[in-house]
């Protein structure tokens, strides 16, 4: 132990540090104990606490510097408190779900207690100086879900250290030459999850400054470690990862959760190594316990033996810490007497109680204000006789309620307004206006920041059309993409492109051909086959001011990453109420190639799981390039699905590569027509284009619309304008039935009111419900073909006018 070694610090400072650690351990423990009570007495809904993990986190926090990042989980309250990123009051405000970001800065009440985050953006959504604060990326609940992002947070330091182009003023707010460490934490049982292994392997390969702690308390809820981990020990299971003189890998350290001195020594060693040499380190903290059990959902007596329960008591880390302090030295260098320690623990209890009470008062005050303003309005209505006096009792109960919920206030107001149907009164108008205003506030409280609300949101990026020379050459789609990437890599020094086969060979479709040679393997690089952590790598780097474009080789393999996209990336802005962002762009390609696992188009699944991201489905590579160019100017995460059959298709080469920017959420009409509106996107859109002349020959006039992006969808409601002319609608895609077509139908018929303009039932044409079969015939019989499109349109016309279009 040297950071708090009396020789290094001087005895008095050393003593103060130890005693302040002791007090903070007591504060954190008391917060856990009171937190549980708050849940059990009904003041908060659910509780999961960090009791038993205090000492290890205090030791870790000593080495956590400004600029560093945490990616952890719900047990880390002591760590957050120790780095000054969480007050006890804010901790309780989180538990109560206080929706004011000034009071509950972690998630403004959106995440359950114990889910931590720092505010890394200012109120305008712009980056703060992250090197001057201690950072925590926002937690998520799925076990091991914090791991993929951790990889990117750590890799960012390596990128910043090794790329001199980033040692400029512009990037100083993100990194001081890569000196920052990314700290991860996980419970022993969650190491069973795939993302843990994928992340550790990648970190070992990449040699990034990561300090990964496993808090090993022997259980995952009730399931013991021997049913979770090979050899019943994560450090033993990972022994092959240990670096040697010849072979880089991990430094693996073990320590015990109750041994203060050894914990301090271990973390000092671990973090120095990671910071100076960029070596990943695993710290296996053994013999940790859980004094209150897993969470408020149940008691641990159900699955822990009496011996285990007894052991947990004798090995409680705070009790052990106390023993250590008392035994330190009995002479003039004694640290504290038992009375002094008890006094600290009493002070801790008092302080926590006070903070908890303040948090509760603020939480209830906020809702009380709403109750009182409603009381004013409803009393007026009751007095004038417009509102039944039976509402008085409910109103009284609301005002008296010492544990009010906002929904009770709303529900009463809405029931009152419903009961006033048909009545005329100024007070009724006041009530109605009050409710509208409160609904707006509720939108801000519970539904804002699904997407960026900064000046860099996609809607604010001015669009620029591609320009062409009169004799513009025709080039393969992949060349257009490649040359556009070249311009982007020149323009944005913080842009990185990576993925499987993306580096040396420039992508399986050659759209990055030669770019690694030009820009180096720090900017354009290969990764292992690990889709989930390719995304995590991107999320973490994007959270640290880099602009990653993560390549997923084929759309079919996005499924390996869909969990982390959905749970982590798509929720970053929302779950922090605009406190963090990760403007990661994901580039993939799909819809149509060969067979069961190279032709998927699971667009319904994607758009339904990725609200909070944008999803672009360009029909060609000029369109794709235009979307990348827009997204690079914006600060939002997005997925761009290039059409697989477009790499070798000729397109006109624009002159303003890297500059033209296409708007998202705008439909492009490709033909004018009066009989039927045909809506499609991506690869099937190109089939629709080919079907047009055939339909024309059959005497059918079709208006073909390319939706171009599914999220957002037709923001100016252009499709309904087309329906006003044609009164007929057919949607074509190659997802399964009721996949993306169901979403598109809802948008057009319900949101845009398109049903009103239809003369007959809207139709969809999608792929078969099975995965597509192999070969050209497999494709023809599994997916919509040009023949299918022509015949479907004809069938609709024939139904409407059998005379002109006799049955085929
Ligand atoms: C993907 C996923 N599966 C299951 C759960 C439910 N769950 C929450 S915590 C937990 C146990 C975690 O145990 P461990 O990793 O040892 O951490 P501890 O809670 O003991 O600190 C489980 C199964 C979850 N949150 N996410």
Ligand 1 binding pocket, CB closer than 6 Å: 75, 141-143, 187-190, 215, 217, 219-221, 294
Question: Using CA atoms, how far apart are residues 685 and 680, in angstroms rounded to an integer?
Answer: 5
* Catalytic hit among 167, 598, 717, 770: 598
Q: How many CB atoms lie within 10 A of CB 262?
A: 15
Question: Is the pLDDT assigned to residue 566 strictly greater than 60?
Answer: yes
Structure tokens belonging to residue 246: 């010849």
Nearest CA to ligand 1 atom 21: 187
Kindly report, residue by residue over 355-375, the tens digit of the pLDDT: 999 999 999 998 999 999 999
Gap from CA of 263 to ligand 1 centroid (Å): 24
Interacting residues of 638 by C-beta distance below 8 A, sequence separation 6+: 458, 585, 586, 613, 614, 615, 616, 627, 631, 664
Q: Is 591 a catalytic residue?
A: no
Task: Report the separation in Å between the CA atom of 33 and the middle of ligand 1, taken as the mean of its atom positions.
Answer: 20
| Cα of 211 from ligand 1 centre, angstroms | 21
pLDDT at 417 over 90: yes
* pLDDT score at 123: 97
Distance CA 322, CA 337 (A): 10
CA of 481 from ligand 1 middle (Å) equals: 43
Out of 79, 146, 221, mutate this one to test ligand 1's pocket (max ligand atoms within 8 Å of CB): namely: 221
What is the rounded CA–CA span in Å between residue 465 and residue 472? 15
Q: Where are the alpha helices (DSSP H) in 454-599?
A: 477-491, 515-519, 531-542, 562-567, 572-575
Q: Nearest residue CA, atom 25 of ligand 1?
A: 142
pLDDT at 404: 83
Q: Please report, for residues 74, 141, 583, the alpha-carbon distance to residue 190 in angstroms, rounded to integers and kept in the order given.
A: 12, 11, 28
DSSP for 126-179?
-B--GGGS-EEPPP-SSTTTTHHHHHHHHHHHHHHHH-GGG-SGGGTTT-STT-
d(CA 112, CA 94): 7
* Listed residue (740, 607, 731, 619) closest to 679, CA to CA: 731
The pLDDT value recorded for residue 500 is 98
Report the SS3 class of residue 638. strand
* The pLDDT of residue 6 is above 70: no
What's the 114 CA to ligand 1 centre distance in angstroms? 13
- Ligand 1 pocket test, candidate residues 141, 220, 300, most atoms within 8 A of CB: 220
Question: Which of 524-556 are b and which e, b meaning 16 or more Cβ less than 10 Å from the residue's Cβ?
Answer: bbebeebbbbbbbbbbbbbbbbbbbbbbbbbbb
86-95: per-residue pLDDT in tens? 999 999 999 9
* pLDDT score of 594: 83
| 217 Cα nearest atom in ligand 1 | 20
| Residues 6 or more apart whose Cβ sits within 8 Å of residue 549 | 495, 496, 497, 498, 538, 585, 586, 587, 628
In this prediction, residue 5 has a pLDDT band, given cuts at 50, 70 and 90, of: low
Contact assessment for residue 777 and residue 744, using Cβ atoms and an 8 Å cutoff = no
pLDDT at 297: 87
Cα distances (Å, whole numbers) of residue 693 to 158, 394, 793: 55, 68, 13
Among the listed residues 544, 578, 542, 632, the one whose alpha carbon sits nearest the alpha carbon of residue 453:
578
Q: Give the C-alpha distances (Å, rounded to integers) separating 259 from 298, 321, 322, 519.
A: 29, 7, 11, 49
* Cβ neighbours of 418 (radius 10 Å): 8
Structure tokens at 707: 């939706």
Surface-to-core class of residue 241, CB atoms within 10 Å of its CB (0-12 exposed, 13-18 middle, 19+ buried): middle
The ligand 1 atom at the shortest distance from the C-alpha of residue 228 is: 16
- pTM exceeds 0.95: yes
What integer best gives the mean pLDDT of the chain?
A: 96
The answer to whether residue 1 scores a pLDDT higher than 80 is no
Residue 700 has pLDDT above 80, yes or no: yes
531-542 helix and 194-206 helix, angle to the nearest 10 degrees: 70
| Residues 450-468, mean pLDDT to the nearest whole number | 98
Buried-state track 444-474, b at ≥16 Cβ within 10 A, e below 16: ebeebbebbebebebeebeeeebeeeeeeee
Q: What is the 3-state secondary structure (H, E, C) of 198-249?
A: HHHHHHHHHCCCEEEEEECCCEECCEEHHHCCHHHCHHHHCHHHECCCCCCC
Q: Whose CA is nearest to atom 12 of ligand 1?
A: 220
pLDDT in tens, 216-271: 999 999 999 999 999 999 999 999 999 999 999 999 999 999 999 999 999 999 99
pLDDT score of 7: 62
Tell which residue, 58, 207, 89, 83, has the closest CA to residue 136.
83
Give the separation between CA 3 and CA 318, rounded to whole angstroms. 20
The mean pLDDT value for 407-434 works out to: 96
- Res. 18: pLDDT tops 70: yes
What is residue 575's predicted lDDT score, i.e. its pLDDT?
98
> What is the 759 CA–ligand 1 centroid distance (Å)?
54
Residue nearest to atom 1 of ligand 1 (CA): 142
pLDDT at 3: 45
Quick one: pLDDT band at residue 164, thresholds 50, 70, 90? very high
Please state the atom number of ligand 1 nearest to the C-alpha of residue 53. Answer: 21
Q: What's the mean pLDDT in 2-20?
A: 79
User: Which residues lie across from 730 on neighbouring strands?
Assistant: 678, 763
């Amino acid at each position: 132990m040297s950071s708090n070694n009396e020789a290094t610090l001087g005895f008095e400072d050393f003593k103060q540090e130890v005693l302040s650690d002791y007090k903070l351990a007591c504060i954190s423990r008391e917060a856990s104990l009171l937190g549980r009570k708050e849940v059990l007495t009904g003041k908060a809904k659910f509780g999961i606490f960090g009791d038993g993990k205090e000492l290890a986190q205090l030791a870790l926090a000593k080495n956590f510097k400004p600029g560093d990042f945490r990616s952890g989980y719900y047990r880390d309250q002591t760590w957050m408190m120790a780095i000054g990123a969480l007050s006890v009051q804010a901790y309780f405000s989180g538990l109560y779900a206080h929706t004011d970001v000034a009071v509950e800065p972690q998630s403004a009440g959106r995440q359950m207690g114990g889910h931590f985050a720092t505010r890394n953006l200012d109120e305008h959504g712009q980056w703060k100086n992250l090197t001057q604060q201690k950072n925590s990326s926002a937690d998520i609940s799925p076990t091991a879900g914090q791991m993929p992002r951790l990889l990117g947070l750590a890799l960012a330091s390596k990128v910043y250290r090794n790329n001199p182009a980033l040692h400029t003023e512009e990037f100083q707010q993100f990194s001081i030459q890569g000196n920052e460490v990314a700290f991860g934490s996980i419970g022993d049982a969650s190491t069973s999850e795939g993302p843990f292994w994928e992340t550790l392997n990648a970190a070992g390969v990449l040699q990034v400054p990561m300090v990964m702690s496993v808090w090993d308390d022997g259980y995952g809820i009730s399931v013991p470690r021997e049913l979770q981990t090979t050899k019943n020990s994560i450090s033993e299971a990972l022994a092959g990862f240990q670096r040697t003189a010849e072979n880089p890998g991990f430094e693996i350290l073990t320590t015990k959760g109750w041994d203060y001195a050894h914990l301090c020594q271990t973390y000092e060693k671990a973090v120095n190594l990671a910071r100076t040499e960029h070596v990943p380190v695993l710290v296996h903290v053994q013999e940790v316990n859980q004094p209150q059990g897993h969470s408020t959902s149940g008691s641990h007596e159900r699955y822990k033996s009496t011996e285990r329960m007894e052991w947990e008591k004798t090995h409680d880390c705070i009790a052990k810490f106390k023993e250590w302090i008392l035994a330190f030295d009995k002479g003039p260098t004694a640290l504290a007497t038992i009375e002094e320690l008890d006094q600290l623990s009493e002070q801790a209890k008092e302080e926590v109680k006070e903070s908890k009470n303040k948090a509760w008062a603020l939480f209830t005050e906020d809702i009380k204000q709403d109750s009182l303003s409603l009381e004013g309005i409803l009393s007026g209505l009751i007095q004038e006789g417009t509102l039944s006096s039976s509402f008085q009792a409910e109103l009284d109960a609301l005002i008296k309620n010492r544990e009010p919920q906002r929904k009770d206030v709303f529900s009463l107001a809405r029931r009152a307004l419903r009961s006033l149907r048909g009545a005329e009164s100024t007070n009724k108008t006041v009530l109605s206006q009050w409710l509208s205003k409160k609904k707006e506030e509720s939108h801000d409280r519970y539904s804002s920041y699904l997407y960026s609300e900064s000046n860099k949101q996609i809607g604010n990026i001015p669009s620029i059309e591609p320009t062409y020379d009169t004799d513009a050459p025709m080039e393969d789609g992949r060349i257009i993409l490649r040359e556009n990437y070249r311009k982007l890599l020149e323009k944005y020094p913080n842009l990185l492109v990576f993925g499987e086969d993306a580096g040396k060979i420039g992508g399986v479709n050659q759209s990055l051909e030669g770019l690694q040679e030009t820009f180096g393997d720090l900017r354009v690089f290969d990764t292992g086959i690990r889709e989930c952590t390719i995304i995590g790598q991107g999320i973490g780097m994007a959270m640290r001011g880099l602009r990653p474009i993560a390549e997923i080789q084929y759309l079919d393999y996005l499924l390996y990453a869909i969990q982390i996209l959905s749970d982590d990336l798509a929720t970053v802005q929302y779950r922090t109420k605009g406190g963090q962002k990760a403007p990661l762009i994901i580039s993939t390609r799909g819809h149509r190639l060969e067979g069961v696992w190279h032709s998927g188009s699971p667009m319904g699944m994607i758009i339904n799981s990725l609200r909070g991201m944008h999803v672009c489905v360009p029909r060609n590579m000029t369109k794709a390039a235009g979307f990348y160019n827009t997204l690079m100017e914006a600060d939002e995460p997005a997925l761009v699905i290039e059409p697989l059959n477009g790499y070798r298709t000729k397109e006109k080469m624009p002159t303003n590569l890297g500059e033209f920017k296409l708007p998202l959420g705008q439909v492009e009409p490709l033909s004018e027509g009066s009989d039927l509106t045909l809506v499609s996107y991506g690869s099937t859109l190109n089939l629709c284009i080919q079907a047009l002349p055939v339909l024309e020959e059959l005497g059918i006039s079709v208006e073909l619309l390319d939706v171009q992006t599914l999220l957002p969808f037709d923001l100016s409601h252009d499709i309904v304008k087309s329906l006003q002319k044609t009164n007929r609608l057919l949607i074509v895609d190659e997802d399964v039935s009721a996949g993306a077509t169901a979403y598109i139908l809802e948008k057009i018929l319900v949101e845009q009111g398109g049903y009103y303009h239809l003369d007959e039932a809207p139709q969809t044409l999608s792929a078969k419900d099975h995965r597509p079969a192999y070969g050209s015939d497999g494709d023809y019989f599994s997916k919509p073909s040009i023949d299918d499109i022509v015949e479907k349109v004809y069938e609709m016309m024939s139904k409407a006018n059998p005379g002109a279009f006799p049955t085929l």
